[in-house]
């Protein structure tokens, strides 16, 4: 009898020849499930509370981005990229603009690059707020989420000041930004740098040494670096396993090589490490934004786009008064500008991993083929094999720590 | 590591099977036949000098005006040497076939399913080749150029207002 | 003077210690101020919903304190985000499981009409499969717009007759969508 009790207390599965429950129950998790992660489905076979095997089904929000992109000119694809990883839309926008600039071989002035970095790092903080907050909610800790969501509202205010929209921002143009950051935007960014660190510290203190959180997340879903690399993982979850692959460091874009920041790396790849890596990345993003603000001070004022009249829409006042501006506007909108026939692959460090854009252009108005290398899609394929042998509650925590955004999963 | 060194090493190991395609952005792009692709990918991954252990992406492109209509494109990344490579394989339509890369990288699983779903490329030996993003009973392959963007069965859009 | 606004009482006869009004209006008032939502959040509008539920915009003060993920216990179905054709049967199933009275708000352009995604895989508006009461336009709508949608729904709920769900017109409406009520 004590043997039986010790099996129960040591959290081992109880497989016995006399086991009356020799059937596995099939449980359907999703596509509508309470933790607002998104619409994907897992049909799992469970033995008691333990998952034996599972099958993932996705595609419940497949919106055919790649097909739409073949019918839209470059500047109309930016709103599409917004809706990929909608929690950090500016990163997608900037990535797309950089891809097109790589194709068209446009040089971007330094000040614009620093402005882009500020916007991207703010978006990264916004995404990590959601991921870590929701991970807290899934373990039962709701208050932390509410505290940091308030700060996310402030990031929305900054985005609104820059581009007018909160969530699906459509920030920037090919060649830079549509307008300069005004003084209010810079003030708000500085205020964010002052008001966010104490809140992040409070959020950290709620979780990092919290006994319940550590018990829930430490040792859960540990992944070795070799397996993670074999499954093409990237982003914070790969860094949690010990591999310091960060696209900002490996293939620097947008002047990231001039910035001084660390890439946090974990050891075991379990959920606790992923939480800590994301947390530390938020601190590093704050450092980067501070440095970017200092660097912008040193650049000539008022530069917010590259001088490429062939691709950058002229200001509307000039279109109505100036002949060249009218001609350029017409050429850009009608797609009469000569663009090179080439293919380019560019990747940025999205909040979830390596977000890549593979663009094949045939010289026409729209791309011939545009493929998004979506990190959530590639990361999520390991979920079903990984959840074999886990408790259901651990699998849910694992799912939320992978930070799968449904828009990016299905594209 | 330079792309020229990488190309020489590949051409040394697979004589007359690797063709370089010029790329405007310094990403080594090679053209391989479907019979040799798995050997090339396995060499890229396991050779101790190259170590392309990270598969970035697998996708396909449809060129209806070419003789070999479908191109399957692999992007791989060697983290240690910080070099990327693009491998292209051209296949004949309308039922293109190519061996699966899941024997080389496990992460190729869903990437190949997505390529099958959109283009109908059959990956021989794939453990579970079925549709992933579209509805399961769809019969056509929507990213092929002949398939329209909008729903062909839609009745409520008036052609007059949409200029058709 | 206090800043707190109380819900307006419906027209009725008031006296010392009693207030008489029609049952419709009283029940309507009670229902309107305690609509429990079922957040059917699929994409970007779902994140705006999270912001609406947060502290700044706070949907809870309009009675939506308890978001229920069980259709049986929810009053209003907030469909937020794009509904793809693969997801449509799931949405219908959730709607059919809801107990009367139930209302539907289509939040965002994608739920109202397919949004910017006029493609083969996206349902062009959820009103192709379920009856919708309020449409909130926007991509994504601001939290204030979502709150406005809920307030418009409250107006509908306040003025709804108690017998509406049993009337032949309502049943015909559901039949149009293929939902058979066996009363």
Domain boundaries, chain B: 3-124
| Residue C1 binned pLDDT confidence (cut-offs 50, 70, 90) | low
| pTM score of the predicted model | 0.91
pLDDT, residue A287, reads 94
Summarize the annotated binding site of C for [4Fe-4S] cluster as residue ranges.
44-45, 110, 139
CA distance A185 to A264: 29
pLDDT at position B3 over 80 = yes
Tell me which residue in B23, B107, B143 faces A230 most closely, judged by beta carbons.
B107
| Residue B164 binned pLDDT confidence (cut-offs 50, 70, 90) | low
Strands, sheet with A50-57, edge to edge from the N-terminal-most edge strand:
A25-29, A41-47, A50-57
pLDDT at position A363 over 60 = yes
- At B46-78, the pLDDT tens digits run 888 888 999 999 999 999 999 999 999 999 999
- Residues of C with a Cβ under 8 Å from any B Cβ are 85-86, 118-121, 124
* C-beta atoms of C121 and A64 within 8 A: yes
Tell me which residue in A67, A360, A371 faces B142 most closely, judged by beta carbons.
A67
On whether both A28 and A143 belong to a single domain, the answer is: no
On whether both A28 and A148 belong to a single domain, the answer is: no
Residue C63, chain A, CB below 8 Å: the answer is no
Closest residue in chain C to residue A35, using alpha carbons only = C69
- At A23-53, the pLDDT tens digits run 888 988 878 877 547 788 889 999 888 999 9
CA distance A14 to C74: 39
CATH number at residue A125: 1.10.645.10
DSSP strands (E only) in chain C? 13-15, 18-20, 37-41, 76-80, 103-107, 134-136
* C-beta atoms of A229 and B75 within 8 A: no
Tell me which residue in B53, B109, B134 faces A62 most closely, judged by beta carbons.
B134
Residue A369, chain B, CB below 8 Å: the answer is yes
Residue A58, chain B, CB below 8 Å: the answer is yes
On whether both A47 and A127 belong to a single domain, the answer is: no
On whether both A280 and A160 belong to a single domain, the answer is: yes
Q: Are A363 and A385 in contact (CB under 8 A)?
A: no
- At A159-184, the pLDDT tens digits run 999 999 999 988 988 888 988 989 99
Looking at the domain assignment, is residue A330 inside a domain? yes
User: How many domains does chain A divide into?
Assistant: 2
On whether both A34 and A132 belong to a single domain, the answer is: no
* C-beta atoms of B53 and A230 within 8 A: yes
pLDDT, residue A140, reads 87
pLDDT, residue C155, reads 92
Residue A68, chain B, CB below 8 Å: the answer is yes
Looking at the domain assignment, is residue A407 inside a domain? no
Q: Which pairs from A7-14 meet CB under 8 Å and 24+ separation? A: A13/A47, A13/A48, A13/A50, A14/A48
On whether both A184 and A151 belong to a single domain, the answer is: yes
pLDDT, residue A309, reads 86
* C-beta atoms of C120 and B150 within 8 A: yes
- At A209-238, the pLDDT tens digits run 999 999 999 988 899 999 999 999 999 999
For residues A4-22, b (16+ Cβ closer than 10 Å) or e, as one string?
A: eeeeeeeeeeeeeeeeeee
Looking at the domain assignment, is residue A46 inside a domain? yes
- At C6-65, the pLDDT tens digits run 777 788 898 999 989 989 888 998 999 899 999 998 888 988 998 998 888 989 989 888
Q: Are A352 and A403 in contact (CB under 8 A)?
A: yes
Range with lowest mean pLDDT among A13-17, A76-80, A130-134: A13-17
Boundary of a domain, candidates A22, A38, A57: A57
* C-beta atoms of B107 and A66 within 8 A: no
| Residue C143 binned pLDDT confidence (cut-offs 50, 70, 90) | very high
Mean pLDDT of the region C146-161: 92
Question: Which residue range is the domain that position A19 belongs to?
Answer: 2-57
| Residue A16 binned pLDDT confidence (cut-offs 50, 70, 90) | low
* C-beta atoms of B54 and A251 within 8 A: no
- Terminal CA-CA length for chain A: 54
Mean pLDDT of the region A185-189: 94
* C-beta atoms of A61 and C46 within 8 A: no
Chain C residues lying within 8 Å of B133, measured CB to CB = 121
pLDDT, residue C183, reads 55
On whether both A91 and A137 belong to a single domain, the answer is: yes
Domain boundaries, chain C: 36-157+168-176
CATH fold of B3-124, please?
Beta Polymerase; domain 2 (3.30.460)
- At A276-322, the pLDDT tens digits run 999 999 999 999 999 999 999 998 888 888 888 888 888 888 899 99
pLDDT, residue C180, reads 83
Number of Cβ atoms within 10 Å of the Cβ of A124: 25
CA distance B61 to B118: 10
Q: What angle do CA C57, C62, C65 make, to 5 degrees?
A: 85
Mean pLDDT of the region C144-152: 94
Residue A43, chain B, CB below 8 Å: the answer is no
pLDDT at position A334 over 90 = no
Chain C residues lying within 8 Å of B151, measured CB to CB = 119-120, 124
Number of Cβ atoms within 10 Å of the Cβ of C166: 12
| Residue A19 binned pLDDT confidence (cut-offs 50, 70, 90) | low
pLDDT at position A22 over 80 = no
pLDDT, residue A89, reads 93
Q: Which residues are within 8 A (CB) of C65 and not within 5 positions of it... i.e. 6 or more apart?
A: C36
Chain C residues lying within 8 Å of A38, measured CB to CB = 42-43, 46
On whether both A32 and A71 belong to a single domain, the answer is: no
How much of chain C, in percent, has pLDDT values that exceed 90?
40
* C-beta atoms of A86 and C56 within 8 A: no
Give the C-alpha distances (Å, rounded to integers) separating C141 from A83, B49, B163, C41, C68. Answer: 14, 53, 30, 13, 22
pLDDT, residue A241, reads 94
HEC per residue, chain B: CCHHHHHHHHHHHCCCCCEEECCCCCCEEEEECCCCHHHHHHHHHHCCCCCCCEEEEEEEEECCCCCCCEEEEEEEEECCCCEEEEEEEEECCCCCEEECCCCCCCCHHHHHHHHHHHHCCEEECCCCCCCCCCCCCCCCCCCCCCCCCCCCCCCCCCCCCCCC
Average pLDDT of chain C? 89
- At C71-128, the pLDDT tens digits run 999 989 999 999 999 999 999 999 999 998 999 999 999 999 888 888 999 988 898 8
Please give the torsion angle defined by the CA atoms of residues A185, A189, A190 and A192, in that order, rounded to the nearest 10 degrees. 130
Q: Do the bridges between strand C18-20 and strand C37-41 make them parallel or antiparallel, or are there none, so unpaired?
A: unpaired
Looking at the domain assignment, is residue A406 inside a domain? no
- CATH number of this structure's domain C36-157+168-176: 3.40.50.12280
pLDDT at position B26 over 90 = no
ipTM of the complex in this document? 0.92
């Amino acid at each position: 009898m004590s043997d039986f009790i010790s099996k129960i207390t040591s959290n081992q599965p109880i497989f016995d020849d006399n086991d009356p429950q020799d059937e596995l129950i099939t449980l359907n998790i999703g596509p509508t499930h309470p933790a607002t992660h998104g619409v994907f489905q897992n049909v799992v076979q469970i033995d008691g509370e333990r998952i034996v095997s599972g099958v993932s089904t996705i595609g419940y929000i497949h919106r055919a981005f790649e097909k739409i992109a073949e019918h839209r000119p470059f500047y109309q694809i930016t709103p599409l990229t917004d809706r990929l990883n909608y929690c950090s839309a500016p990163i997608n926008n900037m990535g797309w603009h950089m891809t097109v600039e790589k194709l068209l071989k446009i040089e971007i002035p330094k000040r614009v690059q620093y402005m882009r970095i500020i916007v991207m790092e703010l978006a990264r903080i916004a995404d990590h707020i959601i991921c870590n907050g929701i991970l807290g909610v899934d373990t039962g800790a709701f208050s932390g989420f509410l505290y940091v969501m308030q700060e996310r509202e402030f990031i929305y205010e900054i985005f609104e000041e820059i581009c007018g929209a909160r969530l699906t921002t459509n920030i920037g143009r090919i060649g830079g930004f549509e307008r300069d950051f005004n003084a209010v935007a810079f003030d708000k960014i500085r205020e964010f740098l002052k008001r966010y660190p104490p809140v992040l510290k409070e959020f950290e203190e709620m979780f990092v040494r919290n006994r319940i959180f550590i018990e829930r997340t430490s040792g859960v879903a540990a992944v070795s670096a070799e397996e993670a690399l074999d499954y093409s993982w990237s982003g914070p979850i790969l860094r949690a396993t010990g591999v310091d692959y960060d696209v900002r460091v490996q293939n620097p874009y947008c002047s990231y090589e001039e910035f001084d920041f660390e890439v946090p790396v974990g050891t075991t790849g379990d959920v606790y490490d992923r939480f800590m890596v994301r947390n530390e990345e938020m601190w590093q993003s704050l450092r980067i934004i501070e440095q970017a603000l200092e660097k912008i001070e040193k650049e000539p004022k008022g530069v917010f786009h590259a001088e490429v009249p062939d691709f950058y829409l002229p200001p509307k006042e000039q279109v109505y008064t100036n002949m060249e501006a009218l001609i350029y506007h017409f050429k850009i909108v009608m797609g009469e500008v000569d663009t090179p026939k080439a293919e380019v692959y560019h990747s940025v460090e999205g909040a979830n991993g390596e977000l890549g854009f593979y663009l094949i252009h045939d010289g026409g108005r729209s791309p011939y083929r545009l493929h998004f290398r979506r990190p959530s899609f590639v990361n999520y394929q390991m979920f079903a094999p990984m959840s074999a042998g886990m408790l259901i509650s651990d699998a849910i925590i694992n799912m939320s720590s992978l930070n799968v955004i449904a828009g990016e999963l299905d594209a | 590591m330079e792309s020229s060194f990488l190309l020489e090493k590949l051409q040394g190991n697979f004589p007359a099977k690797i063709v370089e395609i010029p790329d405007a952005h310094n990403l080594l792009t090679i053209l391989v036949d479907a019979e040799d692709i798995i050997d090339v990918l396995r060499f890229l991954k396991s050779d101790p000098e190259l170590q392309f252990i990270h598969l970035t992406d697998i996708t396909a492109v449809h060129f209806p005006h070419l003789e070999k209509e479908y191109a399957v494109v692999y992007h791989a990344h060697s983290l240690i040497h910080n070099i990327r490579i693009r491998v292209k394989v051209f296949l004949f339509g309308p039922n293109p076939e190519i061996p699966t890369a899941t024997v080389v990288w496990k992460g190729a699983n869903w990437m190949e399913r997505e390529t099958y779903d959109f283009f109908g490329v059959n990956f021989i030996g794939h453990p579970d080749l079925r549709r992933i993003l579209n509805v399961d009973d769809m019969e056509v392959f929507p990213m092929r150029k002949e398939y329209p963007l909008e729903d062909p069965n839609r009745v409520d859009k008036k052609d007059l207002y949409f200029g058709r | 003077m206090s800043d707190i606004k109380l819900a307006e009482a419906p027209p009725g006869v008031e006296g010392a210690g009693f207030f008489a009004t029609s049952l419709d209006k009283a029940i309507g008032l009670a229902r309107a101020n305690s609509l429990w939502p079922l957040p059917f959040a699929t994409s970007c509008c779902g994140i705006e919903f999270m912001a609406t539920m947060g502290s700044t915009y706070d949907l809870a003060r309009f009675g939506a304190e308890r978001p229920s993920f069980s259709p049986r216990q929810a009053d209003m179905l907030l469909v937020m985000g794009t509904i793809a054709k693969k997801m449509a049967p799931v949405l219908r199933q959730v709607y059919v499981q809801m107990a009367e009275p139930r209302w539907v708000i289509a939040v965002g352009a994608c739920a109202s009409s397919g949004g910017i995604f006029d493609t083969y895989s996206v349902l062009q508006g959820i009103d192709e499969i379920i009856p919708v009461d309020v449409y909130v336009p926007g991509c994504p709508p601001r939290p204030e717009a979502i709150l406005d949608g809920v307030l418009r729904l409250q107006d509908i709920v306040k003025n709804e007759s108690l017998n509406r769900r049993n009337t032949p017109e309502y049943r015909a409406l559901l039949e149009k969508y293929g939902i058979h009520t066996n009363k």
